[in-house]
Amino acid sequence: MSMTMTQKILAAHAGLKNVKAGQFIETDLDIVLANDITGPPAVREFARMGVENVFDINKVVLVPDHFTPNKDVKSAEQCKMLREFASRQSIENYFEVGEMGIEHALLPEKGLVTAGDVVIGADSHTCTYGALGAFATGIGSTDMAAGMATGKAWFKTPSAIKFNLTGKPRKWVSGKDVILHIIGMIGVDGALYKSMEFMGSGLEWLSMDDRFTMANMAIEAGAKNGIFIVDDKTREYMRAHKNKNKAFSKRMRVFTPDKDAHYDQSFEIDLSKIRPTVSFPHLPDNTRVIDNVGDVRIDQVVIGSCTNGRISDMEIAAKILKGRKVAGGVRCIIFPGTQAILLECIKQGYAEIFIKAGAVLSTPTCGPCLGGHMGILAAGERAVSTTNRNFVGRMGHVDSEVYLASPAVAAASAVRGYIANPEEF
């Protein structure tokens, strides 16, 4: 029986030779992840189950990142619960203020995810790790508790959509533009409970950061997961970020789709034809190319998040902001994805560029992305953001607006004071 990449990974973790779309299976887990919002309910459910210990202290990962540094008493209590649980369980991979990062930027950096893994996370953007050739998907806090206790999870095997990428992207076009283009093309439910599988000669021109961005936003098309073919870039990244914990060290397992694997749909995407793309309120599939945006005045720009907070994103923003000033009346907030990326921004001189331009450089946090803190919008305000969602009230007041864009478009817009074309810079 022929299988897709995702189906092969799930079959291997279920101890089966073959699986087919729609089949219910129980799989072994390589990583079980939660944050400061979803972790505490999982901890409470774990206690109700009467289980003494997590299944593997190396494979449970806890990252307080959404409301940290703690924005109020309630968020402080949430983090305290997670911290105490991690201590009681002797969990190796607990990352908080000072050594933390936004979870989906931090785990690949720490080498905690490897090709061929099965990863569940109590956060919808867990699908990010598909960039490494892993099956990674978001789950609820109850499933998180069960995963921590047993090291297993039940799945309905997804069918798949194939995206064959060709061509070389033009300057200022990144993975963010590619995934916005795709979501605009198929819709927010276009891949509902399906695997989005990316392959083709165009991968040569997509960096690992581009791929993380694209896999991250697979959920915005309704997908169960997004996953990329493992190539030399993937292998190089994993070698460079190999985990140094001997008790945790893993060997990558590369799975490729069978030549006759069944895909519900197949799309040819010529990267050379994609233009800088913006998602208008209030859904990610409400996209327009930069030439059709019109005059949209803005109040805030956010550059960062688990979608676009990596070092290449910081570099792009710095190239556009260098020697320029953020427009009057615009707040520009920049969030590197991890402490290591923040440090690299300082080493490379990006921090000085951002501050001289009039931007704010923050410690890693999810804060503004979910309207949590450090970037809340008031009624009637508009933001250009490199985050992943622009639902009603996503970044603050229900009468505010969020426009999703790449770091290049966001930085150009910060300088102009309206949504701007980076090709003008």
Contact 386, 413 (CB under 8 A): no
Are 238 and 282 in the same domain? no
Question: What would the two tokens of residue 288 be?
Answer: 């327009």
Residue 88 resides in a domain? yes
Q: What is the pLDDT of residues 273-296, one digit of tens each?
A: 999 999 999 999 999 999 999 999
Q: What DSSP line would sit under 179-227, residue for residue?
A: HHHHHHHH-TTTTTTEEEEEESGGGGG--HHHHHHHHHGGGGGT-SEEE
Indicate the pTM of the whole model. 0.94
- Chain-centre distance for alpha carbon 157: 22
Q: How confident is the model at residue 210 (pLDDT cuts 50, 70, 90)?
A: very high
| CA–CA separation, 403 and 180 (whole Å) | 11
| CA–CA separation, 198 and 163 (whole Å) | 5
Residue 265 resides in a domain? no
Q: How confident is the model at residue 46 (pLDDT cuts 50, 70, 90)?
A: very high
Kind of pairing between the strands at 24-28 and 152-156: antiparallel
Are 370 and 414 in the same domain? yes
Q: What is the pLDDT of residue 312?
A: 96
Q: What DSSP line would sit under 358-389, residue for residue?
A: T-EE--S--GGGGT-SSSPBPTT-EEEESSS-
Contact 120, 143 (CB under 8 A): yes
Are 234 and 383 in the same domain? no
| CA–CA separation, 301 and 122 (whole Å) | 28
Residue 252 resides in a domain? no
Are 312 and 394 in the same domain? yes
Are 286 and 355 in the same domain? yes
Q: What is the pLDDT of residues 308-350, one digit of tens each?
A: 999 999 999 999 999 999 999 999 999 999 999 999 999 999 9
Q: What is the pLDDT of residues 144-198, one digit of tens each?
A: 999 999 999 999 999 999 999 999 999 999 999 999 999 999 999 999 999 999 9
Residue 266 resides in a domain? no
Residue 57 one-letter amino acid: I
Are 299 and 192 in the same domain? no
Q: How many structural domains is the chain composed of?
A: 2
Nearest by Cα to 337 from 366, 296, 370: 366
| CA–CA separation, 386 and 303 (whole Å) | 5
Residue 227 one-letter amino acid: I
| CA–CA separation, 68 and 320 (whole Å) | 29
Supply the range of the domain harboring residue 200. Answer: 5-245
Residue 165 belongs to domain with CATH number: 3.30.499.10
Are 282 and 239 in the same domain? no
Residue indicated by tokens 């961005």: 213
